[in-house]
Every structure is written in C-alpha cells, then in structure tokens.
Amino acid sequence: MILVVSHLHEPSVNGVVRGLEARGAPWARVNTEEFPLFRAGRIVLDGAEPYGLIETDRGRVDTRAVSAVWMRRAARPAVPRGFRPKDKGFIVDEASAFLHGFLDLVGGVFVNPREAERRARKVPQLALARRCGFTVPRTLVTNDAQAVRAFVAEAAGPVVFKPLSGVTSGGADFARALEQRFGEAVEVEPESAQATGTAELVFSQILTPERAAQLDALRYAPVIFQDYVEKAFDVRITYVAGRIFACRIHSQEAGDTAVDFRRMALRPRVEDVRHALFDPPAALAEGIDAFMRAAGLVFGCLDFVETPDGDFVFLEVNPSGQWLWIEQLTGAPITAALVDALCA
C-alpha cells in the first residue's frame, strides 16, 4: 500500500496516482483538510504491535500495510462552523498531532522523510551546500538595517533580498474551496475571507536605492540578503531518488524574469519562457547527489544560477517543489521517476 498525504488541490497527485495504477500498485490518499471533520482515524496500542487506521475514499488504511508514503504538501484541516476561535485552534493542533502519530507508526519509505524536510530550511541548507563544495553567494540574514548597509557597502555589485520562508503565510489557504466542497459544515475564517487558494509568493528583488531607504522596516521581520550573481541561465534541477533532471530556463531573455524566473507564473503563457533539458557536468551531478544524501532528501527541486562563465552557483533546494511545468514543457519523465521511487 502506497499512501499519498496531500491536500485537495495539489495538481501533481493525479499524474502520480495514474502511474501507480498503471503499475498495479495499491494506493490511498489522505487529504489533510478532511481530517478530522470528515474522516475518522484511530491509533491502537493494545499490547501487540501499535498501529493506526484512517478512512480514505479508497477504504480504511492500516499503517501496518503501508510500504511507502509520499508527503506532498499538506494544508490546514477544515474547521467546523460555530466554534470559538480557540476551539478551532485546538482542533487544528490535535489533528496535526494525530497525523504525526499515525505516520510515526509507518515503517515504509518516506518521500521525503519528515524530519529531513523539517531540517531543509534556507539557512541550514546554504551551510550544507557550502560544506558539500557548492559555490554559495555571500549571504546575510538579519533584521538589522545597519548590518545590511555594511553588507551592501562591501558588495562588488547589486544585492538581492528575499524572504526566509518564501511566502507571506505559513501554508496554503483553501478556505473558499473548502466551503464550496463541504458547504455549511465548515466556516471561512474572517481573515481568510479573501483567500485565493494559495499562499502569496514573494519574489527575489534587487535592493534598489528606493528599497534601501526602507530598511528600517526590517525590525519587523528578518530577510535574506545576497550578492546578485550574473546569469546566463537559471537552472532547475529536479532530483528523485538519485536521478537528476536538469533544465536550463532562459530567464535572461525577458526583463520580468531576469532576477527571479518564477515571475513567469504571472505571464499568460509560461511556455513563452524557453526551457531546455541538458546533461549536467559530472562534478555538478555528483555534488547534487552528495548534498541530497547529506540532507536526507529523496526528492527536491534545486535552483542554481549558471553564470556566463559556465559556473554553477547554488541558491536553494525546495523539498516539496513543483515540477509539472518542466515535465509538460520538456517531456522530462519526473512523474515516472517518482512512481519508481514509491514502488521500489
């Protein structure tokens, strides 16, 4: 049994599920929004081997039968209408504690191991990348405006800034979609009433003089500052259980994607930005494999800058990054590789 733990609106799940079905692999899916309001679960410790049970659309899943778990982007549980805010918070916390306890009883392969994902935050991954031999931009993480001014004064060129978390909130918010799916059973929180269905992405930006004049606002939230690296291409590496899919993104062909290629998501057509698969140099491939093994990650999307001189500079790894658009534009068999990893 292969268990998919995700949310109702994750676009990559359907392709992986189709791949599992083509292999004849039994699978089930737990959508984290649905527990506990719409799904019953239990954890049993009765003197024998502890085990957990949880309901899904495909029947009840027993932890003792699970051989692999694909952890694919959880979301907050739906909360019932009419409860006090602190009671709703209690429900969310208890649901999370149950699901963690349930997954702790699974002895199979995890893609990714939960502890490895938790450790893969931006600061420790930058330190690990340096230890693994990657070039990493000079970096400062701070809420101290004076420290930033000193950092900028020592820079040989432009400086970029970006958030530590990458988004403006702590997770995807599908309140409206949940209300449409479950009707009167759930309540849209007042602060979520205008939710669009996803957390708001914050792009990397050049620290211009106008932005630098606002540095005193840093006291409210620390920010990552880095030396800007001149680019020939942005490079997205998708790593799946030792397999590497390398893609050059021709981000420098347009002004809006030059600093952060993810701005192409704001375009009507993502395919207007050229993508091309390539074979990475052996040293880069070996370094990526060593880095991912050291991080304990089975899957991840790594971002590099390829400089005009052909060097590769590490930016970050997202252990739950998106890959579908690369597969659709280039034909890279990333979904099939994930199915292979889950069925191994």
Over the stretch 164-211, which tens digit does the pLDDT of each residue have?
875 433 344 555 566 666 666 676 554 333 333 444 567 899 999 999
Nearest to 2 by CA among 260, 13, 12, 250: 13
Q: How far apart are CA 116 and CA 127, in angstroms?
A: 15
Per-position pLDDT tens, the chain of length 344: 999 999 988 999 999 999 999 999 999 999 999 999 899 999 999 878 999 999 999 999 999 999 999 999 988 888 887 888 899 899 999 999 999 999 999 999 999 999 999 999 999 999 999 999 999 999 999 999 999 999 999 999 999 999 987 543 334 455 556 666 666 667 655 433 333 344 456 789 999 999 999 999 999 999 999 999 999 999 999 999 999 999 999 999 999 999 999 999 888 888 899 999 999 999 999 999 999 999 999 999 999 999 999 999 999 999 999 999 999 999 999 999 999 999 99
Give whole-number Cα distances, 128 to 11, 131, 197, 256, in Å: 30, 5, 33, 31
Q: How far apart are CA 336 and CA 12, in angstroms?
A: 12
Domains and CATH numbers, the chain: 2-111 (3.40.50), 112-135+229-344 (3.30.470.20)
Ramachandran region, residue 16 (left: φ > 0; alpha: ψ -120 to 50; beta: rest): alpha
Q: Residue 235 forms beta bridges with which residues?
A: 248, 304
> Is the bond into 112 cis (omega within 30 degrees of 0)?
yes
